[in-house]
Amino acid sequence: MVNRRVLFISAPIGAGHIRAAQAVSQILRADYGCQTQLCNIFDFFPAFIGQTVLKIYLKILALFPAVYGSAYKWGNHSRLALFGRELVSRILARRMVNYISDFKPAVIICTHATPAGIVAWLKNNRLITAPAAAIITDFVVHRLWVYPEFNCYFVAHPAMRDYLCQHGVASRDIEVTGIPVSPSFSLPVNKDELYAKLKLFPDYKTIMIMGGGAGILPITEILELCSQIDGALQFIAIAGKNQALYRDLLRLESVSKHPVRVFGYVENIHELMSIADLLISKPGGMSAAEALAKGVPLVIFRPIPGQEIANTRYLLDNAAAFRADSLSELKSMISRMLVEDNTSLIELRKNAVSLGQPDAARNIAGIIAKNYLN
């Protein structure tokens, strides 16, 4: 009997890692009859430790982004970082080995570098034998992703394959698929019904603002700034799970001169992106991949050193985004693209469509099924 158990291991440091696992898992279950399981490495030690790590991480991003950028760069070049990676992997691996052995997966798929290190350590020490695959959810590869024990890497674009090859990964073990987004991003949307449901105007330019769930993107300041712009504009603001931000945005919704619709955590991002003419966001790999899948042009606001800068560079190099580092720059950019002359907006959208990979999850699932589930 064919083993169709697929284990996904991720980490809740940024929602994109988990969403990537969910996207591929959904197709493996629906199209290939797989039994899939998603686990979070934070589940393997006391809850307060995971919560503390996450709070520290978010505080550093919000208050000391340069520190995070330095740590990211250090991890890419330091021998000591590799030793630290080995130590962390060894500690966490012993907590996970029984869980993995009990599930008996045909293949293990990691969507975050930390669980990838754990799985590599277990394989290297012959405590598990299942093949392992990695899905990288940014437009850049950090060195802490590179493990000779992995059988397959799924990456967003060819330059990432080149990087992995330079660090000893065989080209045959690398698949350029794009970042996997939910299958819902491939579904058609009735825009007229959506405009009516949201009480928005089809003939207005719609600006979507998201990325403030961790309190990093100043959505309230951006909306206040946009109230100074004349023109037929309307806004969709996503607060995520940030309740304080959500309350602030609701107050703005009632006084804004432009129509504003405020949401907390939502499951229908694919619908909202379908009517967006422009997305203002942080350049997380998953958020960017979702926008590209829908052909939505991006304005990236104050990217943080590290993978955000690398993601930004990729999007700018491919002319699918603009970057704004101040509120005044953002204001002039919106006025120019959406009010004065939309030529650059049209060009951005065309490039976003050409970069988008809405079927990446389906393609990854197909490769996994062919190579590991037969």
| Domains of the chain from N-terminus onward | 5-181+358-372 (3.40.50.2000), 188-355 (3.40.50.2000)
Q: H or E segment at 321?
A: strand 321-324
45, 95 in Cβ contact below 8 A?
Answer: yes
Mean pLDDT (whole number) for 356-369: 97
Q: Is the pLDDT of residue 296 over 70?
A: yes
Q: Which of 139, 166, 172 is nearest to 153 (CA)?
A: 172
Residue 352, pLDDT score: 95
pLDDT of res. 25: 98
Sign of CA dihedral 263, 269, 273, 279: positive
Q: Looking at residue 10, what is its pLDDT? A: 93
Q: What are the Cα distances from residue 347, in Å, to 56, 205, 342, 350?
A: 40, 16, 9, 5
Give the three-class secondary structure for 277: coil
pTM, two decimal places: 0.89
Per-residue pLDDT tens over the stretch 240-279: 888 888 899 998 888 888 999 999 988 899 999 999 999 9
Q: What is the pLDDT of residues 55-104, one digit of tens each?
A: 655 565 565 566 555 555 545 555 555 545 566 667 777 778 889 999 99
Order of all β-strands in the sheet with 5-10: 35-40, 5-10, 107-110, 132-135, 152-155, 174-176
The predicted pLDDT at position 108 comes to 97
With cut-offs at 50, 70 and 90, classify the pLDDT of residue 22: very high
Q: Which residues contact 364 (CB under 8 A, 6 or more apart)?
A: 24, 135, 154, 175, 177, 180
The percentage of residues in the chain with a pLDDT greater than 70, rounded to a whole number, is 87
Question: Maximum CA pair distance of the chain?
Answer: 65
Secondary structure of residue 136 in the 3-state scheme:
coil
| Region 10-30 average pLDDT | 91
Tokens of 222: 């951006």
